[in-house]
Amino acid sequence: MTTFTAADVPDLTGRTAIVTGANSGVGLATTRALAAAGAHVVLAVRDVGKGRAAAEHLPGTTEVRALDLADLASVRDFAAHWEGPVDLLVNNAAAPPPSELRHTADGFELQFGTGHLGHFALTTLLLEHLTGRVVTVASQAERFARLDLAGLDALEAMNRGPRPGDPATATPYRSSRVYGQVKLANLLFTAELQRRLTAAGSDVRAHAAHPGYVDTAIYRENGPVSRVMVRLLAQSPEQGALPVLFAAVADLPGNSFTGPRHLAHMRGSAEPIPRSAAAQDAELARRLWTMSERLTGVAWPAGSARTGSPA
C-alpha cells in the first residue's frame, strides 16, 4: 500500500520531460509537479497561446512547443527538431469525445488518431532520444472495450473514415465506444513498447497510468447528470496526476499500470492496478503495433532507445 503524493517526487534537476496536452487538466498538474521538482518541462501543445498562458504560472523552467497529435506532419516536425535526451515522455493528450464522427488531418477517427496513433508516432520517432521512461495516460474504460484480432482490419477501415462510394456503415458512431478502444490501445501499445525495449537491451521503461475520475471540462460539460457526478465523486486534476507521477518516478517493473487506490481505483493516491485480459493479449498488442506502423508510416526502430538510468 502506498500514500504517494506530489511531495514524494524526487529532485529532477537536470532532467528533461515532455508532456503532451500540458496546458490543462491532468497534463497541467503533472507539468507543475515535475517543474516544481526541478525538471525542465516542455509543454507539447496544439494551441501555443494557451500553452504559454499556462506556462506563465508554472514554477521552475519550462518551454512551450507546438505539437498537434491529430496531424502526423506536426508530430514529425516536432520530433525532427528535437535535440538532446528525453528523460521522461508523458503521453497525456486526448481529443475531447466528439458527438459525431470527426477525423484527423490524415483521415483517421479523431480520438484514435490523436490518443493512440499520434502518441505511437511521437514515441517511436523520439526513441533515439529516450533515456528514462514513457508514461501513457490510459483509463479503466479499457475494461469495457473490444479490439478483436479479427476486427483490426475493420478498425483500420473505420479509422480511415467513410470514402465516396463506401456502403453505409451498419454500426453508428459512438464516441464512448471509441474512447474505450483508444484506452485499450494505450495499454497494448505500452506492453508491446516494453517488450521491444527489453528485447533491444534498453533500460527505458514504458508504463501506463489511469488518473481516475477527474474534475475536468469534458465531464462538466457532458450534461446535468455528469455535472452532479463530478461534484459528488470527482477528484482534482492534481490528485488525478498522482498515478502519472507515480509511474514516472517510482521503482516499478516495466509495463506497470498505475491508478488511484480507492473507490474502485477512481480516487485517492497511487498504486499499481490490474488490467483486463484483453490488455494483456501479447498477440493483439503485436497486431496493433503492426497496424499502427502501417497507418502512420513510422516503423520500429525509427531510432534506437538509449541505455540509461530510468527517470
List the catalytic residues. 179
**Which of 58, 67, 62 has its CA nearest to residue 91?**
67
- Environment class of 57 (CB within 10 Å of its CB; exposed 0-12, middle 13-18, buried 19+): exposed
The 8 Å CB, 24+ separation contacts for 93-97 are 93/20, 93/21, 93/27, 93/44, 93/45, 93/46, 93/67, 93/69, 93/118, 93/119, 94/21, 94/137, 94/182, 95/70, 96/218, 97/175, 97/176, 97/178, 97/179, 97/218
